[in-house]
Structure 1
């Protein structure tokens, strides 16, 4: 699949403490702040691998929608790996961080490198691609959450009627052809999530009516994104989306390159 970083982010703060414990807190009370959290796991993995002495205190401020198919947890994990690398001046290269990240989650290596990339295998085989053409992305999350594990467990791969044209998408990106990119947008995970949550299709249709070049579910869902050729169109659509009662979080963001 093709993966793309967008300008919506959480904030993670790390600092050294006395003792040897890991302490994690967050701005959302329902978030686990123990070994179940990928930030905690990333810190623990680095401490163990490099036999680091001293404790670490971490604070996570969440803005990326949770259980939304946007790799928010994976990006937090990647940020923790990068943060630990800097905090303890370990000098781990990007490939080393990706290797550790792959042991924590399939999307973590991509979140380490960011930008526009082709992900193969289970997500650990990454090929950087040129930045996509200028555009604006409207992100809309309905008030439901989806289990990525459950979606993949129920995906009928042999029964899929079609598969995304990844080679064509890569060519369109290399040729800076926005219509070629949006015309090839497809997500096979919709075959699982959409029948269970028809609101996803309703939001996609709404964004298309508002002038999106195309709209698609992000990852395992339920978040939907629409790609707009201009920021004005995207922001008009965002304003009109307020009448859509099922949408609980919505943002207009740019695509972000790894150099940004």
Structure 2
């Protein structure tokens, strides 16, 4: 038996038009999953659907804007109506957060960060977890961050939001474990994506980050996708309630 085979499964990956989300979608698609992905705009969604289809994957891309709660609800409803069920839910989409320390930030900035990066995930969990419970099968994967595990003066609100994501995992592990639904988060360090462009666009800055990493480089999106495939497949069926670092040894 191929423990990584996802044939017959439907995998939903939010924020999958680029970066880690797209790499995860491609890894799950290569394992046989039918893909449902979200993009922030109709253009990016359509382009990514065409890209995934050109690689031979069964894919449907829908628009979802985390800034608009109605958009998230519509996305969830459309995905459910189109496919009937979601077997793997990858909560990768996140909205931009203000960089820098928390001191001086306003309550509105805090509310926006928590709504877009934490609260909207609850809408999707509520939309899809009940069917997983009824089937006694499913996998939920959150995208967290290494900064959820340590203090930071550069990414204050972002770190708070990601720490909340890791607590989602612990709570849901207790709630959903009895129904054979595993819940985990992936906590990457610096990854070569648009989000962390400031860390690698400047060769000197990238060299500093690499020097602080035991593996002497920053991650590529595919380095994260492999863990997502493990957690989505039967190979990872007993990994549950974990916040797993993918950071080249930085946490160590």
Q: Same fold (TM over 0.5)?
A: no
Bigger fraction of residues in helix: 2
| Higher relative contact order (CA closer than 8 Å, sequence separation 6+) | 1
TM-score of the pair, normalised by structure 2: 0.24
